Amino acid sequence: QLKPLEIPSRLLLGPGPSNAHPAVLQAMNTSPVGHLDPAFLALMDEIQSLLRYVWQTENPLTIAVSGTGTAAMEATIANVTEPGDVVLIGVAGYFGNRLVDMAGRYGADVRTITKPWGQVFTLDELRTAVETHRPAILALVHAETSTGARQPLEGVGELCREFGTLLLVDTVTSLGGVPIFLDAWGVDLAYSCSQKGLGCPPGASPFTMSPRAVEKLQQRRTKVANWYLDMSLLGKYWGSDRIYHHTAPINLYYALREALRLVAEEGLANCWQRHQKNVEYLWEGLEDLGLSMHVEKEYRLPTLTTVRIPTGVDGKAISRQLLNEHGIEIGGGLGELAGQVWRIGLMGFNSRKESVDQLLAALRQVLP
């Protein structure tokens, strides 16, 4: 006989998920209504306008995809990629490589521009690559969770417009925690997740498309090769037509709406400042412990810090001790950085001085 569910309480300071705000969990605990119920349709409208706010965009086609960040990632690629399209992808970490794999599966002629993991592309480097490849789409990861680096995006949208290229950006680890100005930066497609900077459980993932990107969708020669994520169908559920598309995970949308409401209540700029202030406090504390960061300060993310594992220290054993003895989750290195770094997230509700204090106190005990 199975016992009722028992999950240990954890402080989630890894690369995501982060702990959800108690008000978000409470919202999730509301009884579901039908996915075409007027109350739910009104909630969808609220989610759309709150997403436009957190992304700083006016894009009409701004929705939440039912699925995790990877589903929203796939939605961007699937809708605007046709077989043979040149898609240029900036790869300086694990998630750049995921985009490469995905775009290839949709028949794109994938080209890459690469940088060592932990570094970012300069505007000049991007210009040279765009001039060389003349891509239909340029895809960049704003916040590379595998390295902790923040890719600057100022000027990239203008560059793309010069060449008729659409700019696609991964904001999974930046939305809610790092300043983003989609329209001012000329970003045409973006996606994110719910479980990081927004402090919500995973499963309802922000997605947006500019009118320029919608035009490319409308002019396709071929059908979108993914029924579930085809915006010409899904857009009719989120838009005024309200045509049944799939049974939305109602309770996740309750949670997302509450998480976004909390960001709006705090104010987006205040939210960004809080993330920056708390991460600087974390960096100081880690340096006091004799640890060093993997990314140059100027390009470090406020949401995710990669910390070098000192020589001779068993990184996995430290993470295990933090979890088992202190209830704190941090992440290990991914891909090329496996075994070399820890990844510490301060995202959404978890970006608080108390989280940092708790982690530093635990590290003082477990580090040799």
CA distances in angstroms from 35 to 39, 261, 332, listed in the order given: 9, 20, 39
- When binding is defined by CB under 6 A, the residue of 11, 13, 73, 77 that contacts ligand PLP is 73
Q: Considering the rule CB under 6 A, would residue 206 count as an interface residue with ligand PLP?
A: no
CB burial of residue 311 (10 Å; 0-12, 13-18, 19+): exposed
Determine which residue in the list 54, 141, 167, 262 makes contact with ligand PLP, applying CB under 6 A: 141
Contact between 334 and ligand PLP (CB under 6 A)?
no
Closer residue to ligand PLP (CB): 165 or 205: 205
Range in contact with ligand PLP (rule: CB under 6 A) among 67-75, 80-88, 240-248, 256-264: 67-75
Query: What radius of gyration, in Å, describes the C-alpha atoms of the chain?
Result: 20
Residues 97-136 that bind ligand PLP (CB under 6 A): none
Q: Which C-beta is closer to ligand PLP: that of 93 or that of 235? A: 93
Residue 69 in contact with ligand PLP, rule: CB under 6 A: yes
Asked whether position 18 contacts ligand PLP by CB under 6 A, the answer is: no
Nearer to ligand PLP, 259 or 362 (CB): 259
Q: In Å, what is the CA distance from 108 to each residue of 32, 87, 176, 217?
A: 40, 6, 31, 15
DSSP state of 293: B
* The one among 88, 182, 193, 286 contacting ligand PLP by CB under 6 A: 193
Which CB sits closer to ligand PLP, 145 or 355?
Answer: 145
Cβ atoms of residues 40 and 250 within 8 Å: yes
**Residues in Cβ contact with 70 at an 8 Å cutoff, skipping those fewer than 6 apart:** 98
Query: Whose Cβ is closer to ligand PLP: residue 50's or residue 304's?
Result: 304
Whose Cβ is closer to ligand PLP: residue 57's or residue 174's? 174
Which residues, numbered 156-175, are part of the site for ligand PLP (CB under 6 A)?
170, 172-173
How many Cα neighbours within 13 Å face the side chain of 166?
A: 25
**According to the annotation, is 343 in a ligand binding site?**
yes
Q: Using CA atoms, how far apart are residues 56 and 52, in angstroms rounded to an integer?
A: 6
Closest approach of Cβ 297 to ligand PLP, in Å? 21
230-289: contacts with ligand PLP (CB under 6 A): none
User: What is the 3-class SS of 76-136, one letter each residue?
Assistant: HHHHHCCCCCEEEEEECCHHHHHHHHHHHHCCCEEEEEECCECECCCHHHHHHHHHHHCCC
Residues forming the site for ligand PLP (CB under 6 A): 15-16, 68-70, 73, 95, 141, 145, 170, 172-173, 193, 202
